[in-house]
Copies of this chain bind each other. A is one copy, B any other.
Amino acid sequence: MSLKLRKKVDPLPGCPMSKCMALLSGLWTPELIWCLSHGARRFSELQRNNPTITAKVLSGRLRDLQARGVISRAVLATSPPSVEYQLTSLGMELIPAITSIVEVGSRLLLRDSAGEQ
């Protein structure tokens, strides 16, 4: 794990770009929002979908996202207790941006594999 991705700073407060990037900030954050855009997920499900994230970081990101109003947390009265996270309406507004990022990334990956052959 050598390539670094994003540090949390808001270079231009009040700027559209920063407004959105601030919500996507934090390692794993876009991945988590992407997972949750497909429906509510439990803690362990998010761990399975992101194999190399540690519990500490996962719970950290989830707390951040909740604090920013991007996701909601619901404790289910099951046994053993489980917790479900899902996007808020604010969180859902991020989906177009996330989708665009995924689409661009997919196209770049396709080109890579095409070029290698």
Partner-B contacts on A (CB < 8 A): 1-28, 30-31, 34, 50, 52-53, 90, 93-94, 96-109
Count the copies: 2
In the bound complex, CA of A15 to CA of B21 (Å): 20
Tell me whether A1 and B10 are in contact (CB under 8 A).
yes
Across-interface contacts of A90 in B (CB, < 8 A): 108
Q: Which residues of B contact A20 (CB under 8 A)?
A: 101-102, 104-105, 108
Tell whether, in the assembled complex, residue B109 and residue A11 are in contact, meaning their CB atoms are under 8 Å apart.
Answer: no
With contacts A3-B13, A5-B25, A6-B7 taken as known, whether A19 is within 8 angstroms of B109 at the C-beta atoms is yes
Q: Which residues of B contact A24 (CB under 8 A)?
A: 6, 101
